[in-house]
Amino acid sequence: MNEVSPSAETEKVNLLGMSRSKMEAWLVSIGEKPFRAQQILKWIHHTGVDDFNDMSNLGKALRAKLSEIAEIRPPLVERQLDSVDGTRKWAVQVGGGNLVETVFIPDGDRGTLCVSSQVGCSLDCSFCSTGKQGFMRDLTAAEIIGQVWLALKSFDAFQSGKGRVVTNVVMMGMGEPLLNFDNVVDATSLMMDDFGYGLSKRRVTLSTSGVVPMLDKLGDVSEVSLAVSLHAPNDALRNELVPINKRYPIAELLAACKRYLDKQADRHRVVTVEYTLIAGVNDRLEHAHELAEVLRVLPCKINLIPFNPFPLSDYQRPSKTAISKFWQILNDAGYVTTVRTTRGDDIDAACGQLAGLVQDRTRRSERYRRQAEEQTQTIRLV
């Protein structure tokens, strides 16, 4: 969707998702000076203003003109849930009855916001509840950056003197960010822009299941940190878990990750390799040894994610002992390896559970529901 075109509902141009370069071009197209973009961006993303009349360093005539043709329209919050551990989750309305989820996870002086990029996902990884819903549509750049805007509003963190509440953003919510390329690039550029949210490139992470051509394109236009969802050390197993592996197998994916790093000015950057551990599927010790070998070609650190169970999935989370043995092998092989702790369990905010509140309306979600019903009936008959 082109952000410069008016929104269907109001016929006004929504400035919330406009990157600095797009806003400069838009201002020129309406006969204004491009430097106004910096002022407007600061009002929107530093101060949290959504009314042009509050932009006191713009002249009255310009404020009136902007109010006439443009708007700053964040998506609406349908529901907010707070966990006892400080995790906060929002179900965000994105029109047409669709909801996506955004999760804030505090950890000491860090605060990580997990942001969605699509309604549903077309890639159907076997262990992912978003994948089970099928794909509805891409989010606009305004709907993506709007999740950051809403989170700061919700914590009253614009100009509150509280210091930074959101210190990190991860594109690890619903959807495959590289399949919504332009909008994700615009939104992440605002996250890293000094006139936007001013986060360093090390604190904005895009997680992908491995859309290789888009990864190459990303390296040409972005400095965002990269996380790659590997989940298996060989193609036979990865084909089962992450179907896009049949198009872009592991060797091609790792080579693309290396090319991404090579394009970055900073030579010390590494890719985060995500590996969701599923009991009896990809958590055997030989998998850990094989993973340590296969990753030799890539400067990386490893993040082990214990599988988060959800309805419609038969997979199980491995035991603590199995997880720590797996970790030990990678650690001994010289990899910086972390295990993601599960957070927000009481509000279903843990990774992979993000689809909980979203209406299932695709054919794929119906197929899965039918399968689950048939399984239950079989169990009853036996």
State the residue number with the nearest CB to ligand SAH.
Answer: 352
Other Cβ atoms less than 10 A from the Cβ of 142: the count is 26
Active site residues: 101, 351
Backbone angles phi, psi at 79, to 5 degrees: -155, 145
**Angstrom distances, CA of residue 260 to CA of 219, 223, 237, 355:** 5, 9, 25, 30
CA angle, corner 81, sides to 227 and 84, nearest 5?
Answer: 85
Q: Which of 273, 305, 330, 355 binds ligand SAH (CB under 6 A)?
A: 305
Contacts of 260 (CB under 8 A, 6+ apart): 215, 216, 218, 219, 226, 271
Backbone angles phi, psi at 311, to 5 degrees: -60, 150
Q: Which listed option, ligand SF4, ligand SAH, none, makes contact with residue 272 (CB within 5 to 8 Å by class)? A: none
From the list 44-52, 126-134, 259-267, 297-305, the region that binds ligand SF4 by CB under 6 A is 126-134
Query: What radius of gyration, in Å, describes the C-alpha atoms of the chain?
Result: 22
Residue 240 touches ligand SF4, criterion: CB under 6 A: no
- Interactions with ligand SAH, residue window 96-135 (CB under 6 A): 125, 127-128
Q: Which listed option, ligand SAH, ligand SF4, none, makes contact with residue 124 (CB within 5 to 8 Å by class)? A: ligand SF4
Of the two residues 130 and 313, which places its CB atom closer to ligand SF4 in the complex? 130
Q: Which of 44, 94, 123, 254 binds ligand SF4 (CB under 6 A)?
A: 123
Residue 209 touches ligand SF4, criterion: CB under 6 A: yes
Complete edge-to-edge strand list for the sheet that includes strand 168-171: 76-82, 88-93, 99-107, 110-114, 168-171, 204-208, 225-229, 271-277, 300-306, 337-339
Minimum CB distance to ligand SF4, residue 152 (Å):
25
Q: Which of 71, 176, 186, 223 binds ligand SF4 (CB under 6 A)?
A: 176
Contacts of 299 (CB under 8 A, 6+ apart): 258, 261, 269, 270, 271
Minimum CB distance to ligand SAH, residue 262 (Å):
21
Determine the length of the chain: 382
Considering Cα of 158, then 161, then 164, then 166, what sign does the dihedral take? negative
Of the two residues 172 and 191, which places its CB atom closer to ligand SAH in the complex? 172
Minimum CB distance to ligand SF4, residue 296 (Å):
25
Residue 222 touches ligand SF4, criterion: CB under 6 A: no
Which residues are at the interface with ligand SAH (CB under 6 A)?
125, 127-128, 172, 176, 207-209, 229, 274, 276, 305, 307-308, 310, 351-352
Interface ranges with ligand SF4 (CB under 6 A): 121, 123-125, 128, 130-131, 175-176, 209, 229
